[in-house]
Amino acid sequence: MAGFELKTKAIKGLFWGGFNSGMKQVISALIGIVLLSRLTPGDYGLVGMLAIFTGIATTLQEGGFTSALANRKEFSHDDFNAVFWFNNLISIAMYVVLWFCAPLIADFYSQPELVKISRVLFLAFLFNGVSLAFNAYLFRFLMVREKAAIEIISSLIAGVAAIILAIKGYGYWALVVNTVLMSFIASLLRIIVVPWHPGLKVNFRPVWEMFGFSFKLVIASFVTQLQNNIFSVVLGRAYTEREVGFYSQGNKWTVMGQSMISGTVNSVAQPTIARFSDDPERSLKVFRKFMRLTSCLVCPAMLGLAFIAPQLIQVINPEFMPSVPVMQLCSLGCIALSLSNMYSQMNIAHGRSDLNLLITILGAALQIVMAFVVYRYGINVIALTIAVCNFAVLAAWHIISGRHFGYTVLMLLKDVLPYAGLAFLVVIVAFFATKFISNALLLLCVKIIVVAAVYIVALKILDSAIYREARIFIKRHWRR
């Protein structure tokens, strides 16, 4: 009975996680389209130069405690209370450090505007710090519907504010305000919605108890942020802000697509797998279901994005056309990223943060070395290098992590190749079906419709288990 309830809760979590990620990315895409038509590559380039600082600071701020709290078999008010106060202290300290480092960041990139931009943008850390414990509560108790509502509302309000600023000619400030306002609103809503509140009596013992596990996650996440943003740093030093903007914009759309998939799965994967951490056979079975789900979603999404990239950018703002090859190459690399993410979730669920740390360091070392080897050859070569590195890192995840859980190469191929092959065939069909269309907007719309329709029909004809379970769930809840 408990297993059935957990399965039902997990399926509901996937539904709401998918709805949340989908709506967030749709909102982000619509807002991004408006902003892209109003802002310049230089605006995106300036804000993009700060990506490595915001990414690393966010990682240090979170501290790995969300995953650590989800993994605890028993928990108490003191656990969340300790995380709440600890995160707030860390957030304040980081903002003070970054405030004084702002002139150094501006000097590094030779961009004086970055002093004021960074000092405002980094306010998001203070707002995030207040609600991290509340967010961990939502994650721990699979409150995915509430989490979805919070993130959708905050994205929408912040996006509208950014559009207004962009229309009025405030340039890069539209992007800055979007980030800061989203953090503020999301934090406020989490505090209102979550039925837990901090107390003034603080005992930091739970933090130290979780530190051994969470510290490895922090280091792994820190290295990942360095790995993901090293090219932005190199580009910021070696290229103009326009070229950084082209790279940033091309990468942004792929990250949005990949985040939608990962957000859907991550909302329930780790907590669900963790419930079966004492049963290796069942844990592996659950992991394979999530791996198939990830493949089913990410392969058509990323191949489809690469397919529509020229028309998407041409319709929004032709000035950004140099970002198309970057978007296409990064889309392929994001397939590997999403699959690697599942190995990471499996490791965390089993308390093997050490494996995450090891593999992340190996992957980062590879990408950092390659960054300094290829950066002089242009943004397209950089994007290709990132895609190749992502697949190399996926191989490392399987070799090092997969064997610990009995996940073989044959299992991986069975879980991934059917969906990858089907998505590739669907894109080929859509290519020939839309060759005769010359209007960019019409071609974009028809491509999206054909790819989505043919893929869904193919899943139905092939009687995909994922499609069948999704249809049953939707029918059951639609009747209600």
- Is the pLDDT reported for residue 475 higher than 90? no
User: What is the DSSP-derived secondary structure letter of residue 73?
Assistant: S
- How many of the other CB atoms lie within 10 Å of CB of 228? 18
The predicted model scores a pTM of 0.63
Strands (E), 54-213: none
- Is the pLDDT reported for residue 471 higher than 60? yes
φ/ψ region of 74 (left if φ > 0, alpha if ψ in -120 to 50, else beta) reads: beta
Look at residues 184, 213, 238 and tell me which one is the last residue of a structural domain: 238
Each residue's pLDDT tens digit, 394-416:
998 888 887 778 888 898 999 89
Confidence of residue 58 (pLDDT cuts 50, 70, 90): low
- Is the pLDDT reported for residue 389 higher than 90? no
Residue 43 lies in domain? 12-238
Each residue's pLDDT tens digit, 208-257:
766 666 666 666 666 666 666 666 666 666 666 677 777 777 777 787 77
Considering the domain architecture, whether residues 215 and 274 belong to the same structural domain is answered as no
Each residue's pLDDT tens digit, 315-346:
877 888 888 898 899 888 888 888 888 888 78
Distance CA 20, CA 260 (A): 8
Considering the domain architecture, whether residues 444 and 455 belong to the same structural domain is answered as yes
Q: Any idea how long the chain is? A: 480
Considering the domain architecture, whether residues 207 and 258 belong to the same structural domain is answered as no
Considering the domain architecture, whether residues 93 and 50 belong to the same structural domain is answered as yes
Does residue 31 sit within a domain? yes
Give the pLDDT confidence score for residue 427 in this predicted structure: 92
Contacts of 239 (CB under 8 A, 6+ apart): 379
User: What is the DSSP-derived secondary structure letter of residue 398?
Assistant: I
String of DSSP letters for 114-128:
HHHHHHHHTHHHHHH
Does residue 266 sit within a domain? yes
Give the pLDDT confidence score for residue 6 in this predicted structure: 46
- Is the pLDDT reported for residue 470 higher than 80? no
Question: How distant is the alpha carbon of residue 213 from its chain centre?
Answer: 22
Considering the domain architecture, whether residues 297 and 179 belong to the same structural domain is answered as no
Question: How distant is the alpha carbon of residue 464 from its chain centre?
Answer: 26
Contacts of 315 (CB under 8 A, 6+ apart): 440, 441, 444
Please say whether the beta carbons of 9 and 142 come within 8 A.
yes
Give the phi and the psi of residue 298 in degrees, each rounded to 5.
Answer: -75, -35
* More confident position, 421 or 72: 421
* More confident position, 48 or 340: 340
How far is residue 324 from each of residues 161, 193, 219, measured CA to CA in Å? 28, 41, 33
- Is the pLDDT reported for residue 384 higher than 70? yes
Give the pLDDT confidence score for residue 289 in this predicted structure: 84
How much of the chain exceeds pLDDT 70, in percent? Answer: 75
* More confident position, 288 or 29: 288
Does residue 363 sit within a domain? yes
The average pLDDT across 144-167 equals: 85
Give the pLDDT confidence score for residue 267 in this predicted structure: 60
**Structure tokens of 130?**
């207040």
The average pLDDT across 199-216 equals: 70
Does residue 351 sit within a domain? yes
Considering the domain architecture, whether residues 53 and 125 belong to the same structural domain is answered as yes
Each residue's pLDDT tens digit, 90-130:
888 888 888 898 898 888 888 888 899 989 988 888 888 78
Amino acid identity for residue 154 in this structure: S
How much of the chain exceeds pLDDT 90, in percent? Answer: 7
Please say whether the beta carbons of 444 and 308 come within 8 A.
yes
Give the pLDDT confidence score for residue 2 in this predicted structure: 45
Considering the domain architecture, whether residues 346 and 226 belong to the same structural domain is answered as no
